[in-house]
Structure 1
Amino acid sequence: MKKMNRSHMDFFNGHCFFHMFLLLLLTITSIMPVVINPKEIESCRHTTIILIGATGDLARKYLWQGFFELFIKEQARLTTFTFIGCARSDQDSGEIKLQKILLDVVSCDDISNISPGNCQILKKDFIKLTHYHMLKGEEMYASLNDKIEVFQRKAAKQAEGVGIGFISDRIFYLSIPPFAYLDTSRNIHKFCRPSTPYSGLRLVLEKPFGKDYASAKFMSDELAKHFREEEIYRVDHYLAKPIAMQVLPVRTNNVHLEMVLNRNHVEKVEVVLTETSDVKDRLEYYDEYGVIRDILQNHLTELLLLVTMDLPKNATNKEEIEQNKIRVLQKFQALSPGDILLGQYQNYGSEIQEGLQKSGSTHLTPTFAAVLLRINSKRWQGVPFVLMSGKKMDERHSYIRIVFKDRSFCLPYHTCKNRSELIFSLSHGPAKIPSILHTLNLPIYLQEGMFHEFSESDIANKNLTQYRAFSLIQNTNAYASVISSVFHRDRTGFIGTDHLLQSWNYWGQGLSVLGDNLPKLYPGGKGSFRNLSFQYDFKHIDFNDQTFSKSNQRVDLILSDEDINMVSHNMAQIPDTFLGNTLVSASTDSLIQRLVEDLANSALDAIRKRGIFHIAFSGGAGPLVLFSKLATVPYLFPWKQIHIWMVDERCVSSNHTEYNFHNLDERLLRFIDIPMSNIHPMPTYLFTDICNPDDLGSKLYENHMQKLISNQRLDFIVLGVGMDGHTASLFRGQNSLKERTRLVVLTPGREGDSIKQRMTLTFPAINKAREIAVFVLGSHKHEVLKVISNDETNADKWPITGVNPDQGTMTWYIDHDALFGKSLS
């Protein structure tokens, strides 16, 4: 490898001439005329591929074989190559090491398009064209450039000698740690950028591309100083796996499938990558990045986008594909701590201490994660997506699984016995080889000539008997596909800068909410699946093992002994009821979440039964936080079938800060897609003045309710409790408490209140409701709750006790601060 011998030079210099001669010979001697595009013969293309990190694991396992397959595929197309492997070893030992790697790892075993004998000849040629260059320091980039130009000049001279044009390319493939990307890329730009016309340069980077949004943005900005966007190729090799490359074609070729890939028909989507290996061979990297940064942020997210993106109008339009992916990423709903499950195999800590000599330290890096992801778009609202990955699991498998709702897709004469599923199995798993599987009741068209259907004898796993399974006839190594795409400047399967930053914008936020959540320990190897089993729906994800809960892994409160005793005592004695009705008590955030979920369930149940849902909200401070929470989860509610009413209203101008409807609009209505006709503010200002009794505004609202609400029975009412025990705008000692027929009345304000008049629903309207929630937050409400719970029921004294549903249900939602009487936040 030190010197190019004569036979090597003859091969190299005569390559373009030979293929031009062959094309001309075919043209002259063929019986049928051959049409030759002049552009195909007017230029010889010489490509220099520089692999930096040429003796590392990735190079050994995949890259050199990928370069060899590119050489075989392209060398008969007026193309010549030089391959240069760079590493830090000195020149002599590096040459020996690289020579051994090439002899060991470059193989003809899986190459089927040429004979074994010819493949062995080409392997020798490939090794002759491969050179080593020691790369340490800036001066060695300059000498690397000199070496590249020597090979390019020889190729150019030969092309000139046979009267054809010449173009050259340089591909720099960085198989090095990410911390070295920027210095290396700066040196490539400074010393190795081609200066001749008709020369191109591409920079290929392996993940990770940053560890959060800030680092990804910094790295992208630095690269942009020296390289154009079209010169940068960020690799996610999972997109180049043969089955992953079939996801979009399967969607495109199956219109009936594309029509049901939406929230109306899809029950759930799972994207999974499990491995049996540990992380001993990359401890330092893994301890810094963990499974979410290593797998979920890139591989699994990119696979999910293949399923959830809108199909491009033009399947070959790379820019449209990229923009469609970005649009989906922008709709990813922000993660909360409750959306993420973490695990760590038991030996991880000891491996870190042994491998990195970090004894005595605690390493909470997750080696397992399952994330519940939601997409806030019209197409995917309400569908749960789960991304899951783990190290040292029971088996190795990667797949995309789409599960359709029962009976949502069934053609005539096809069985509806089982629900429909479509599985893209990327590697390993029950089918053993990359494959596409679909249930018998889900017909899928696959391109003819590309797939082989499994026979029953091929499917040893009895769980697959309800599936049809297909494998590709021609499987291409993922890295061979990556390298071929780079060579042909096909950026479809690579990650653009905007795409990258949008992904990190989502995952960076998700990682930030984890804090110091403890991962659940699992044994590693057999039994890990059982130990980590979990359940989920659109709202929740949690381990099946109830002895482990995300919420009780860490206490962030600093309490005195008195506080601890008080909390422990009260927690142990939270009753099931309050004033004879159901009690739900939790921390403030958890309580709000629970009420939102109960509201969503009630709405969906009402719409399923009656086609419509009527809800009324009271005013005051309590509902404000509820409105804000509802605004963050608009996808939970079918707003077009929901009508929103007011329980009460203050008689003030519409822009007043205490105008209840103003707060509802500011906190919720402007964030949801609800028809204006479904919103019903109280008519406090009609003809003459605010809340003028002569305007009959309360009567108008009552008539409106009678017209739109069947039997004047609201489906759900959210009430609060004032410090004086009032609810809605029903105050102690007022005549409105004795109203037995009117649904809506004007009533005086509270004694001493600056707001002198209000409009409110009465007990007849409130108690007709199907469900009533009394929502109470804050330690300042403890005293009134304590008093009314110990006093006799007296609506004239404590108006809240007059709420007593005729046929519906009533639930008290009281946070711990209000129940215990001491703030714990």
Structure 2
Amino acid sequence: MRIPIFPSMSPAIDQSSLCDSKEPDTTTMRTDKNNMEPSLFVIFGATGDLSRRKLLPALARLDESSQLHERFNILAVGRYCLDENDFRATVRDALQAAGISAERSLSFVARIHYQPIFEGNDGDYQELAQRLTELDKLFDIPHNHAFYLALPPQALSSTVAGLAAAKLNRNGQGWTRLVVEKPFGRDFISARALNKLIHEHFDESQIYRIDHYLGKTTVQNLLVFRLANAFIESSWNRDRIDAVQITVGEEIGVDRRGEYYNSTGALRDMVQNHLTQLLTLVAMDTPASFSADAIHNEKIKVLNSIRPITTANAILGQYTAGKMRGKAIKGYLQESGIPADSQTETFIALKLYIDSWRWQGVPFYLRTGKRMPHKLSQIAVRFREAPIKFFEQYGCAGATSNVLIINLQPDEGFSFFFSIKRPGTTLGLERIPLRFQYADHFNGGIPDSYQALLLDILIGDQSLFVHWKEVEESWRIYTPVIDHPQKVNLYPAGTWGPMEANVFSISECALEMGCKTCA
């Protein structure tokens, strides 16, 4: 496979760009739940889709497994004047739709309270402060408050300012934490402006920028898999690895988000956050500890070391009409809310290089798209071939590169492909997999990613959240692609993207290996 060469190198790492918290680092990737304290969890946008489908069910499951403090309570904040009991009834319905029993749902909703807030009414935040004081007193909560902003981007600035005006942004007798959902800006300039706004009222140690991919058990296992297995970590470098491919395929289209998605595209929606975070976990050096600052520092070093990307190393795509599982699927331009001349990408493939001692010269391929054959999040690592192809002299072409496939979802686990002698009287080689799947070895299933992240918020562990310097650096990396959009190549719904993107993939990554993105 011919691989284009990047023309330039990245500047040296600016050490001042690393985490420089003046406070003692008390946040460490959790190994137990002993840090739980009574608290109030305040959800802004509590009547919205994210709260109904993800946040409240995740909290209910934590309650079901006895992982919440007995004096933990929720204050749901919404834009509607609702009776508290009526709101609890809607939550019960949502929980039962999520598979939580009626008995458990009834017990959990007793923890929920409701408070309306209307846009532009500063007095509502004073009333919110008063309500928090009342609930703290009623449930003997030592003023520990987490504010989860499950809100559209345009509502963030007024909400943060409102909390500050009511003096709800301060660490006082207890702790105060602010949780922010993506998107963290639209580009480098807007991300920096958003960070500046939030930092005017909240310290970085209070801010939890959530990327739900980081809460997945298999994503958290990346560091453990590397660092707990000496033969893996000793091979995790440019001397042993030839290429890395990170793929996130979505089976769905834009659904009812057409207008929003058309202003966003695959780069902003998936690459700048989810895929880039996966890249940092794959490529980072061993942290000094499992503390939040140590992990963030190594991730920031990776981002600082990524070579300036050129537009020639970005391939964009857009799905057209096709068939998926025998069903006709309309093209992107036929979706509701999409202009007939839209050039928004629903697929993107990128090739990146990391100019570091560990990864110099190793291509990293990032691929994501909508209307893929099925949902898939996967990391493929191709190891270098032996310097001498010993078996070719005997007519055996089966000895090829070893490939490690890490499935993040579904079928969570990994496969390692290597060559063995085929049974028989003649010398023949065959590639076979060693497989591990979580479902085969652990009972009870894998917790939802929001369960892990919400628990971390409550115990004050920022390890799996995104530091503001990671946000800014990731936007800087992709600025050339944003500022100079390329031709959008077409691909039928139900395929793995445009043919032009095949050059940005691991060639061995094929169906017979269990890696389903390049068939």
TM-score category by the smaller chain? 0.7 to 0.9
**CA–CA distance in 1 between the matches of 2:495 and 2:415?**
26
Question: Structure 1 residues 365, 97: CA separation in 2 closer, same or farther (over 3 Å shift)?
Answer: farther
The one-letter amino acid paired with 1:338 is A
Name the counterpart of 2:295: 321
Does 1:146 pair with 2:91? no
Name the counterpart of 1:241: 216
The one-letter amino acid paired with 1:147 is R
Unaligned runs of 5+ in 2: 1-33, 321-330, 390-397, 421-429, 507-519
**1:108–1:120 Cα contact (<8 Å) kept:** no
Pairing partner for 2:416 from 429, 438, 456: 438
Q: In structure 2, the residue corresponding to 1:281 is in which secondary structure?
A: coil
TM-superposition CA deviations, 1:134-180 (whole Å, max 9, x none): 22132222222222211101223xxxxxxxxx623111111111121
Pairing partner for 1:367 from 346, 363, 366: 346
Name the counterpart of 2:434: 467
Does 1:506 pair with 2:477? yes
**1:260–1:409 Cα contact (<8 Å) kept:** no
- Structure showing greater radius of gyration is 1
**CA–CA distance in 1 between the matches of 2:481 and 2:182?**
19
For these two proteins, the number of residue pairs brought into alignment is 440
**CA–CA distance in 1 between the matches of 2:437 and 2:470?**
32
**CA–CA distance in 1 between the matches of 2:449 and 2:171?**
33
The one-letter amino acid paired with 1:322 is H
Name the counterpart of 1:132: 114
Question: Structure 1 residues 214, 108: CA separation in 2 closer, same or farther (over 3 Å shift)?
Answer: closer
Q: How far 1:107 moved relative to its partner?
A: 7.1
**CA–CA distance in 2 between the matches of 1:44 and 1:273?**
34
Does 1:485 pair with 2:485? no
**CA–CA distance in 1 between the matches of 2:415 and 2:136?**
48
Q: How far 1:307 moved relative to its partner?
A: 1.0
Q: How far 1:388 moved relative to its partner?
A: 0.4
Pairing partner for 1:80 from 67, 71, 81: 71
Structure with larger RCO (C-alpha < 8 A, sep 6+): 2
Pairing partner for 1:50 from 39, 42, 46: 42
TM-superposition CA deviations, 1:699-725 (whole Å, max 9, x none): xxxxxxxxxxxxxxxxxxxxxxxxxxx
Question: Structure 1 residues 297, 418: CA separation in 2 closer, same or farther (over 3 Å shift)?
Answer: same
**CA–CA distance in 2 between the matches of 1:520 and 1:530?**
6
Q: In structure 2, the residue corresponding to 1:233 is in which secondary structure?
A: strand
TM-superposition CA deviations, 1:348-401 (whole Å, max 9, x none): 2232xx436x5xx63111000000111112221111111000011111101111
Q: How far 1:406 moved relative to its partner?
A: 1.8
Question: Structure 1 residues 382, 58: CA separation in 2 closer, same or farther (over 3 Å shift)?
Answer: same
1:240-639 alignment, distance < 5 Å? 240-314=215-289, 316-346=290-320, 347-351=331-335, 354-355=336-337, 362-407=341-386, 417-428=399-410, 433-440=411-418, 466-471=433-438, 473=442, 474-514=445-485, 517-524=486-493, 526-529=494-497, 534-536=502-504
**CA–CA distance in 1 between the matches of 2:193 and 2:87?**
35
- Structure number with the higher helix fraction is 1
**CA–CA distance in 2 between the matches of 1:106 and 1:188?**
33
**CA–CA distance in 2 between the matches of 1:173 and 1:408?**
54
Name the counterpart of 1:807: none
Q: In structure 2, the residue corresponding to 1:438 is in which secondary structure?
A: strand
The one-letter amino acid paired with 2:469 is D
Name the counterpart of 2:92: 102
Q: In structure 2, the residue corresponding to 1:321 is in which secondary structure?
A: helix
**1:243–1:436 Cα contact (<8 Å) kept:** no
User: What TM-score comes out, normalization by structure 1 length?
Assistant: 0.50
**CA–CA distance in 1 between the matches of 2:203 and 2:362?**
38
**CA–CA distance in 1 between the matches of 2:164 and 2:49?**
26
Question: Structure 1 residues 197, 177: CA separation in 2 closer, same or farther (over 3 Å shift)?
Answer: closer
Displaced runs of 4 or more, over 6 A: none
**1:268–1:384 Cα contact (<8 Å) kept:** yes
**1:384–1:537 Cα contact (<8 Å) kept:** no
Question: Structure 1 residues 128, 98: CA separation in 2 closer, same or farther (over 3 Å shift)?
Answer: closer
**1:337–1:513 Cα contact (<8 Å) kept:** yes
Name the counterpart of 2:13: none
State, as a whole percentage, how many aligned pairs show the same letter. 27
Question: Structure 1 residues 408, 76: CA separation in 2 closer, same or farther (over 3 Å shift)?
Answer: farther
User: What TM-score comes out, normalization by structure 2 length?
Assistant: 0.78
